[in-house]
């Protein structure tokens, strides 16, 4: 495993960087100053050459999304998706709490490249510290004249930009870009049908780019390092370093920046400190709770978007959940189905009814009252949800359901046959039940 | 019971609305409701929702949609400290069931109820995204991680002392 370079996380132990002068002293704003001397298309071409993949979960090439932005004489918007909500994901919170100016620099460069003059940072409401620190950083940029009117624009360039922080109020669905936009407009966070995509018709119906916090935080480094050096930190078509959070049954959980070619095995056993003594690996989710589960023989996969997709899962938000042999996969799935059924916004019947139905069946199984046809019924429900909804929360519920049942079918059947209620960490008890 | 917007609160409202384009003041409904809820002990009355609706010039139903959709708003009283206990998978794998049980036992109230002295209330919530610290409990701005029953007891003991 290569040594861990520090670009996005370089100020994580440097509280002085919370103030603009400390951020500048640490090397910050050089990327923005360079961008201000380039023409906008040059900036977009650089980000394209750097193979920056969107880090919100989809891994869609950022420069390609930027290229879709509609041309208009009217207002255009940049909305920063800071609604980090995918279970197991920890990166945007630390990025905002420990280096808010880095995010602002990325926002400023993106706005300069896209000729956008108003940005909103939508931060989930529970992130009280992140909201306070980003708000404070924004105020410093206004005080220094870089934002707002009459201050000479960004670093005296004359480029006018307004940035405002907007809090969420508790809804996972507002991490979906169109749900976020509905919420920003002051409504329930209902996603909207795509097409039209936000790039053409977004906030208030105007052309809008929605980018993740980590994606934008990469941009200053792409400017200062250049595309080649940034690509060298990653893999083909997946440039740069990446923030990964390893959690669950590991000895050293945490969010760390690593080169994009780290393997899942390295994340679990080296970076994450491995399992507790006497425990063995049972299952691991690579990219946040919505990603399909992987088995112990599948962990030699490079943690970039394309490699994990080839392995049958997704890098998603790079939230790695490690489950050791104590884990009951039946209870683990039940936990997630509670989550998805609660977080469904309710707009689409297949998701609203499907997630709740899945949870009710799961609860019956968990209580020891499962029936033989339950598993196939759950798979059938998933089949009717996916592709039939406005957004992919339905898919996010279906992917764990399908992969846990498919890869641990024997365990689910044994649990049903056993007719007993077991705990989340009573996974080993299943063996006894199935041999009884 | 009615509730009127104080001049000081109205001034704060005006500053927030100014962040949004002309004619788009409805966008401010979420931050305005947060302000009112925080200033009122952690929950919102119907009168307060009406006052926000009136200020923004939108129907009460549009405000009520928002307060009933988002989980951070409460239309029932909350304790001076409202404990959020994460129950989603990463925290569950690290033992959040013990945290919930300890909270329930030490406070002596069920989820959603307030202790008789008005000091505490609690609820289980979905992922707070501090999964590197699981199991996790949040109160206001403070996030507490790596919890077990003993640590929860100690925290509640400390808070109870501060209440006296």
Span A160-177, mean pLDDT?
Answer: 98
Q: What is the pLDDT of residues B5-57, one digit of tens each?
A: 999 999 999 999 999 999 999 999 999 999 999 999 999 999 999 999 999 99
Side-chain-side CA neighbours of residue A228 (13 Å): 0
Q: What is the pLDDT of residues A228-278, one digit of tens each?
A: 999 999 999 999 999 999 999 999 999 999 999 999 999 999 999 999 999
Radius of gyration, alpha carbons of chain A: 22
pLDDT exceeds 60 at position A434: no
Q: What is the pLDDT of residues A295-317, one digit of tens each?
A: 999 999 999 999 999 999 999 99
Q: Kindly determine whether residue A128 and residue B69, on different chains, have CB atoms separated by under 8 Å.
A: no
What's the token pair of residue A338? 């509670």
The chain B residue lying nearest A121, using CA atoms, is B19
pLDDT exceeds 60 at position A432: no
pLDDT > 70 fraction of chain B, expressed in percent and rounded: 99
Average pLDDT, chain A: 96
Residue in B28, B30, B89 to test binding to A, most A beta-carbons within 10 Å: B89
Sequence-distant contacts of B64-68: CB under 8 A, at least 24 apart:
B65/A187, B65/A188, B66/A169, B66/A186, B66/A187, B66/A188, B66/B29, B66/B30, B66/B33, B67/B33
pLDDT exceeds 90 at position B125: yes
Chain B touched by A339 (CB under 8 Å): yes
- Going from the C-alpha of A232 to that of each of A5, A34, A237, A298, B112, the distances in angstroms are 12, 21, 11, 25, 52
Q: Kindly determine whether residue B129 and residue A289, on different chains, have CB atoms separated by under 8 Å.
A: no
pLDDT > 70 fraction of chain A, expressed in percent and rounded: 99
pLDDT of residue A81: 98
Span A360-364, mean pLDDT?
Answer: 98
pLDDT of residue A429: 85
pLDDT of residue B3: 86
Name the nearest CA neighbour of A341 among A175, A176, A173, A190.
A173
pLDDT exceeds 70 at position A75: yes
pLDDT exceeds 60 at position A433: no
pLDDT > 90 fraction of chain A, expressed in percent and rounded: 95
What's the token pair of residue A6? 């520090």
Side-chain-side CA neighbours of residue A256 (13 Å): 19
Span B73-97, mean pLDDT?
Answer: 97
Q: What is the pLDDT of residues B91-114, one digit of tens each?
A: 999 999 999 999 999 999 999 999
* Beta bridge mates, A236: none
Q: What is the pLDDT of residues A100-120, one digit of tens each?
A: 999 999 999 999 999 999 999
pLDDT exceeds 80 at position A372: yes
Between A432 and A231, residue with greater pLDDT: A231
Span A422-433, mean pLDDT?
Answer: 82
pLDDT of residue A431: 65
pLDDT of residue A435: 47
Chain B touched by A332 (CB under 8 Å): yes
Q: Kindly determine whether residue B92 and residue A335, on different chains, have CB atoms separated by under 8 Å.
A: yes
Q: Kindly determine whether residue B93 and residue A249, on different chains, have CB atoms separated by under 8 Å.
A: yes
For residue B164, give how far its alpha carbon lies from the nearest alpha carbon of chain A (Å).
Answer: 26
* A 160-179 → B contacts, CB under 8 A: 164, 166-172
Name the nearest CA neighbour of A218 among A130, A106, A84.
A106
Q: Kindly determine whether residue A126 and residue B84, on different chains, have CB atoms separated by under 8 Å.
A: yes
The chain A residue lying nearest B29, using CA atoms, is A186
Structure confidence at residue A4 as a pLDDT band (50, 70, 90):
confident
Q: What burial class does residue A407 get, using C-beta atoms within 10 Å of its C-beta: 0-12 exposed, 13-18 middle, 19+ buried?
A: middle
pLDDT exceeds 70 at position A8: yes
pLDDT exceeds 50 at position A436: no
């Amino acid at each position: 495993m290569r040594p861990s370079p520090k670009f996005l996380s370089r100020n994580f132990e440097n509280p002085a960087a919370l103030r603009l002068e400390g951020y500048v002293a640490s090397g910050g704003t050089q990327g923005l100053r360079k961008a201000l001397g380039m023409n906008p298309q040059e900036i977009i071409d650089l980000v394209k050459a750097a193979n920056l993949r969107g880090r919100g979960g989809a891994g869609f090439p950022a420069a390609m999304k930027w290229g879709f932005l509609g041309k208009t004489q009217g207002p255009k918007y940049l909305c920063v998706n800071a609604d980090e909500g995918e279970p197991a994901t920890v990166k945007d919170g630390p990025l905002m709490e420990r280096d808010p100016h880095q995010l602002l620099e990325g926002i400023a460069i993106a706005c300069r490249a896209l000729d956008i003059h108003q940005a909103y940072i939508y931060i989930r409401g529970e992130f009280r510290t992140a909201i306070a620190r980003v708000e404070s950083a924004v105020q410093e940029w206004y005080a220094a004249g870089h934002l707002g009117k009459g201050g000479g624009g960004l670093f005296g360039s004359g480029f006018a930009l307004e940035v405002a922080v907007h809090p969420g109020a508790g809804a996972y669905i507002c991490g979906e870009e169109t749900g976020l936009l509905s919420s920003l407009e002051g409504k329930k966070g209902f996603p909207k049908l795509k097409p039209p995509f936000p790039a053409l018709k977004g906030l208030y119906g105007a052309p809008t780019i929605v980018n993740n916090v980590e994606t934008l935080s990469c941009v200053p480094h792409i400017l200062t390092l250049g595309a080649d050096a940034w690509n060298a930190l990653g893999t083909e078509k997946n440039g740069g370093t990446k923030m990964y959070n390893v959690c669950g049954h590991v000895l050293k959980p945490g969010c760390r920046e690593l080169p994009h070619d780290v393997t899942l095995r390295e994340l679990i056993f080296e970076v994450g400190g491995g399992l507790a003594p006497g425990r063995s690996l049972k299952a691991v989710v690579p990219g946040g709770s919505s990603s399909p589960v992987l088995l112990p023989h599948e962990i030699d996969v490079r943690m970039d978007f394309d490699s994990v997709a080839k392995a049958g899962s997704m890098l998603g938000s790079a939230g790695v959940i490690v489950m050791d042999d104590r884990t009951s996969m039946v209870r683990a799935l039940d936990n997630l189905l509670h989550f998805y059924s609660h977080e469904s916004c309710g707009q689409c019947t297949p998701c609203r009814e499907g997630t709740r139905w899945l949870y009710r069946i799961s609860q019956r199984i968990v209580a020891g009252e499962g029936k033989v046809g339950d598993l196939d019924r759950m798979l059938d429900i998933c089949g009717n949800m996916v592709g039939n909804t406005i957004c992919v929360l339905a898919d996010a519920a279906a992917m764990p359901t399908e992969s846990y049942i498919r890869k641990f079918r024997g365990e689910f059947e044994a649990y049903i046959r056993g007719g007993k209620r077991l705990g989340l960490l009573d996974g080993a008890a299943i063996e006894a039940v199935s041999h009884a | 019971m009615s509730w009127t917007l104080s001049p000081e609160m109205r001034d704060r409202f005006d500053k927030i609305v100014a962040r949004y384009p002309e004619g788009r003041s409805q966008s401010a409904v979420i931050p305005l409701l947060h302000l009112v809820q925080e200033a009122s002990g952690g929950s919102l009355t119907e009168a307060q929702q009406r006052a926000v609706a009136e200020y923004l010039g939108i129907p009460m139903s549009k405000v009520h949609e928002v307060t009933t959709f988002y989980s951070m708003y409460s239309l029932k009283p909350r304790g001076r400290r409202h404990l959020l206990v994460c129950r989603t998978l990463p925290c569950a794998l690290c033992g959040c069931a013990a945290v919930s049980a300890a909270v329930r036992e030490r406070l002596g109230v069920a989820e959603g109820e307030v202790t008789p002295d008005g000091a505490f209330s609690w609820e289980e919530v979905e992922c707070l995204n501090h999964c590197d610290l699981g199991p996790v409990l949040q109160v206001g701005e403070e996030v507490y991680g790596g919890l077990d029953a003993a640590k929860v007891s100690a925290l509640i003991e400390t808070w109870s002392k501060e209440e006296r």
